[in-house]
Amino acid sequence: MAKEFRPKARRPRGFQDRRGAQLAAERALVAKIAAVYEAWGFEGLETSAFEYADCLGKFLPDQDRPNEGVFALEDDDQQWMALRYDLTAPLARFVAENFDALPKPYRRWAAGPVWRNEKPGPGRFREFWQCDADTVGAASPAADAEMIAVACAGLEAAGLKAGQYRININTRRLLNGVLASIGADDPAKRLSVLRAIDKLDRLGVDGVRLLLGKGRRDESGDFTRGAELSEADAERVLAFVTAGRGSREETLSALSAVAANADTEAGLAELGAIDEALGALGIGAAQARFDPGIVRGLEYYTGPVFEAELIGSPDEEENVIRYGSVGGGGRYDDLVARFTGQLVPATGFSIGVSRLAAALQALGEQQADGPVVILALDQTRMGAYLAMAQELRAAGVRAEVYLGQSGMKAQMKYADRRGAPIAVIEGEDEVKKGVVTLKDLKLGAALAKAIEGNEAWRKGRPAQIEAPRAELAAAVKRMLAEGGALAPSN
């Protein structure tokens, strides 16, 4: 016989496998945010993973060649298809295709993976989840305000507390007004200025000042050419982008002093209307503020833009730790018009699920317990073990029987690896006495940790009790409650 081909088992480059507690946390996050979106009247939509390449367009951040940055292939009818790179482009296609059949405004939420064909790097994956809400067909600033408010509600449902996050708001119209006021009409110059502004968080005012002027040399010696604004123009831009204040009202009044032309007037009116609607929705200064330094990369934004920022607790030196953006959005009035020519105003917000989950974990979310594990010490009594598991499940306790062939020690190790709070043992002795032994593995682990490095703990037995077989479920539930173990949800 020919030598068998054995492929090497390997995950594709730049992709992730997620399992257990990490995956459960992300899924729970999506479920909580989706419940908020539903409560706010958004309707679920799941479009296909593929779109025709011409429908997707070329709105991917920092990509200006078609098919650049996406996973594309040719279908057998010679049409190019690509996997979606976000949930907004498919929404625009869906609305254009089904315009007459949809209620207008069309409020939809969506959650799912998106794919980007980029060079993988640490923490930079080619597949990740987004969870979006959008309102298509509403030009009102109230719709933008609602996006901000529903994002706040979603982040809070996900477990963030007041003061742990903030939505920063700006509008493209204000940026356009400031660019007009310094005569930056040339697209290349506009782009240099916007890129410089976008680095405010990372480089501070002095760094941005250099990038607005001649340019900046970084620590490694690399030189970035600047936008070559005059000193006065650079200061005007800086005064604008640093006009953010504690409350939205204060920022609006600071901004009105900076530049005055048709665009800035329109921008300020827009932000004023958003502020009013946010007030009606109960969104205070701590949750959402105006920040003229927010740019947002995607080219399709036409008006207000939003960015959700996570804020950690102050450390010992009272420095606030920033985790960066966990979501964003804005108004994109031209995206449906790309297909139909008809202007359809739209606004939306996208929460980056994986990033938010990672941040929540860093903020100290609790690890969920595994199931109760029933050891299988005697293969001829398998039926009795299976029946025990059914009893526990019927009582609302997650449970399983060890189904391998190994001995006691390996089975206990298995229970540990599963994060089991309790191991149920019914050996020969227990059968004779009509009891089961319940080992409290969480207590055992805690004891082991408390006396870490001290061999004495080996002599002490981890907490365990005997319970009459007939009272198995009740005894397990009692031990789970006493041990402070998380009650299983079903």
Contacts with a second copy in 141-170 (CB under 8 A)? 142-143, 145-146, 153
Query: Per CB under 8 A, does 41 bind a second copy?
Result: yes
CA distance 128 to 361: 17
Give the residue with the Cβ less far from a second copy, 413 or 461: 413
If one counts every other C-beta atom within 10 angstroms of the C-beta of residue 368, the result is 16
48-67 residues in contact with a second copy (CB under 8 A) are: 48-52, 54-55, 57
Give the contact letters, 223-242, x = binds to a second copy (CB under 8 A), - = no: --------------------
With 0-12 CB in 10 A as exposed, 13-18 as middle and 19+ as buried, what is 147?
buried
CA distance 275 to 114: 32
- Answer for which of 189, 190, 199, 393 binds a second copy (CB under 8 A) is 393
Q: What minimum distance in Å lies between the beta carbon of 431 and a second copy? A: 15
Q: What minimum distance in Å lies between the beta carbon of 258 and a second copy? A: 27
Per the rule left: phi > 0, alpha: psi between -120 and 50, beta: everything else, 14 is left
Q: What minimum distance in Å lies between the beta carbon of 472 and a second copy? A: 14
Query: Quick one: DSSP state of residue 70?
Result: S
Give the residue with the Cβ less far from a second copy, 266 or 281: 281
For residue 456, give the amino acid letter.
Answer: A
Query: Per CB under 8 A, does 402 bind a second copy?
Result: yes
β-sheet bridge partners, residue 466: 437
Give the strand order in the sheet containing 320-331. Answer: 106-115, 127-136, 346-352, 320-331, 304-314, 165-171, 288-290
- Answer for which of 297, 311, 358, 414 binds a second copy (CB under 8 A) is 414
CA distance 160 to 326: 12
With CB under 8 A as the contact rule, which of the stretches 86-94, 176-184, 426-434, 435-443 interacts with a second copy? 86-94
- Answer for which of 63, 127, 236, 254 binds a second copy (CB under 8 A) is 127
283-342 residues in contact with a second copy (CB under 8 A) are: 338-341
Distances (CA, A) of 225 to 59, 221, 222, 237, 361: 25, 13, 10, 17, 39
Neighbouring residues of 270: CB distance < 8 A, sequence distance ≥ 6:
141, 144, 171, 173, 303, 304
Query: Per CB under 8 A, does 447 bind a second copy?
Result: no
With CB under 8 A as the contact rule, which of the stretches 10-18, 198-206, 314-322, 428-436 interacts with a second copy? 10-18
Q: What minimum distance in Å lies between the beta carbon of 149 and a second copy? A: 8
Q: What minimum distance in Å lies between the beta carbon of 373 and a second copy? A: 7
Q: What minimum distance in Å lies between the beta carbon of 84 and a second copy? A: 11
Give the residue with the Cβ less far from a second copy, 115 or 240: 115
Give the residue with the Cβ less far from a second copy, 151 or 277: 277
Give the residue with the Cβ less far from a second copy, 59 or 240: 59
CA distance 255 to 264: 9
Query: Per CB under 8 A, does 11 bind a second copy?
Result: yes
CA distance 279 to 329: 20
Give the residue with the Cβ less far from a second copy, 180 or 281: 281
Query: Per CB under 8 A, does 425 bind a second copy?
Result: no
- Answer for which of 1, 2, 3, 17 binds a second copy (CB under 8 A) is 17
3-state secondary structure of 282: coil
Q: Closest Cα partner for 30 from 128, 107, 168, 118?
A: 128
Give the residue with the Cβ less far from a second copy, 216 or 442: 442
